[in-house]
Structure 1
Amino acid sequence: MKERSALYVGRVRHHRFRPRPHALSYRVFWTLLDLDEIDEIDGLAGELRLFSRNRFNLYSFRDADYGDRSGKPLRPQVEAMLAEAGIAHDGGPIRLLTMPRILGYAFNPLSTYFCYRRDGSLCATVYEVHNTFGEVHSYVAPAVLDGGVLRQEAGKVFHVSPFMGLDMRYAFTVTPPDARVSIAIDAQDGEGRMIAAVLSGERVALSDTALLRLLVTHPLLTLKVTAAIHWHALRLLAKRIRWRPHPAAPARGFTLGSAAAPHAKGPLQP
């Protein structure tokens, strides 16, 4: 199997601090897909029997699940976004961390593009957020690594949960994919810290054997993600957390974030 693409097996944790505490933790896995590898004629789908591109299989990747959802190649879409954001990218690798379709079904609350220069240095990240209302929005931020850790900020403009408003700011603390990957997100409003979430995983070679093993250890993962979102929504309603109306989606497809100064790590951060 080619080395640029891989699996990451780990856990997602989420903690809400106000107005009443609420927490969750689930075992999950992601694929890290190099967009050049999946675009090659003899790419990933040609090397794996259990993984296909744009057709049904046990595991699959569908271009139309991402970007503008037109099904057009993703690399030009990401490069156009970076150029519009004023972030220089010289054609280096772009790798997407996301959950695959499993038996034809997928829902990804967060998919992350790691955009590299040709010399291997990271120049930007694109956080593609999907909500359960069928909408998508991206946060684009330049990358400045500090001791192997990436810190970025962005104002919240996209409706994700009916239990949180838009008057918030995100802080990202990221360890880019290597032997492990982690993405920690803190969100604060005018009263302070509201939520903290972190996904983290260990690298596993992408192979049919590994995919079969994950089918046993993480059965119907993507369906469980959607079920968990609705289950926890019911629990938040039971806790009488305020339900907020759904605002209009941003007219622009992405929001530009910024590199952030080092800050103290929260309890859920790696």
Structure 2
Amino acid sequence: MSLEKLRQAVAECNRGLTELFQKRQSLVLEIARYKKEKKLPIYDGEREKETLKSFPNEAHEFLRQIMRLSRKQQSELLFPYNIILTGFMGTGKTAVGARLAFELGRDFYDTDGLLEKRLGTTIAGYFQEKGEPAFRQREKELLREIAKKEKVVISLGGGAVLDGENVTALRANGRFILLKAAPETILARLKSSDLRPLLGQEMTAEKINELQNKRRDIYLNCADVVVETDNLTIEEAAVEAILALYGLKERGKQADETFYGR
């Protein structure tokens, strides 16, 4: 068989694959509607593992990409907006955000990580050298850029929502998930961290509680839903976030006023 005929045969295979993929994606949308009705997670890791077992190893990467695209299509139907994680430091925004992005087949933007790359230093180092006002300005510039993204997952720094202009820009195309954790939980998570400039040497549960309470109303005013992460694994927190978004009926819905009830 000539090279040209071989290429024609490959092209015919591509057309067949495309038709099957389109049919598959139509079925995926039906599955998404069912999951929304029954409030089921989009990602089912065990099922994906079982699916891969039925195929040769060389097909696994191909199938993983198809499954990722399926999750992405489901998430865009169910949650047609950016998903923004906010909350105090140490509540799990980066870890849960990355997991959410994986389960939903979306791109993930960790603003603190992106800022450090842009600044060429750590956030703590920039705070010490330039001060908080300079940092907040650089943060605002980055958030204006990210707010223009569509259907992505965004993890914010703990103080990003202190600026109302940041909230307005992000809310135009997104919904806010507020992550909550007790001061004791946060303290345990931050013990080995050097990236928390606001705490300095006063890293105590009392100091954390004080700062949380100062931000209480600001967090509540921007939150659409709340997820408590104290006793959850990263995977469990991501599932809880998805289930919370299922219950979100309208943009104006706010977090329970008992969020900081102590």
In terms of fraction of residues, the more strand-rich structure is: 1
TM normalised by structure 2 equals 0.26
TM normalised by structure 1 equals 0.25
**Structure of greater Rg:** 2
In terms of fraction of residues, the more helix-rich structure is: 2
